[in-house]
Amino acid sequence: MKLFAVLSLLFLLLVVPPALAESPLTGILGAFDEEVAFLQSLVDSGRTEIVMGIPFTVGLLDGSDVVLAKTGVGKVNAAMTTTLLIDHFSPHEVLFTGIAGSLSDSLLPGDIVIGSRTTQHDLMSVTDEGRERFAVVNPVTGARNPVFIPGDSTLIVLADRAAAHARFDTLLTSHGG
């Protein structure tokens, strides 16, 4: 299988539980500078807040209250930055945007991927019969966590609408695209 980098629009769609969300603030995260720099350049009345060494840009994006940050690469960095975002800013929802890897032979650079669910891809067994995903145990209840975690259906619909209107420059690839 080939690994392609693909443009991922709103790769992870998460709604923060209402008990934690205090405002209509939207959190937006990306792993690389290039994934958040463009959005940061569009933020009006932006200010930077440093939380545990992580810079967060807070302001208005197209009239909506947002907070943006770069997570760095990897799920540990993403989890840490997302935890700081939720704990410090109490957003209503968190969106993750940027590039993503794929094991699919059908995706090419520049393709838009909207995740409707997520899983920990590295929690699987590989056998002669194929791959088998397994869930970790919840440390509080002892029950197995779900293997797949669904995204918020409202945010997925909004991402689909946004993707339908997205236009990008043509990318030249070794695949003729």
What six digits make up the tokens of 23? 């405002």
Helices (H), 24-152: 33-42, 75-89
3-state DSSP helix/strand/coil percent for the chain, to nearest 5?
20, 35, 40
Higher pLDDT, 150 or 109: 150
pTM metric for this prediction: 0.66
How many other β-carbons are positioned within 10 Å of the β-carbon of residue 50? Answer: 8
71-91 pLDDT, tens digit each:
998 888 999 999 999 999 999
122-152 pLDDT, tens digit each:
677 777 887 777 778 888 999 888 878 888 8
Distance (Å, rounded) from C-alpha 158 to C-alpha 144? 31
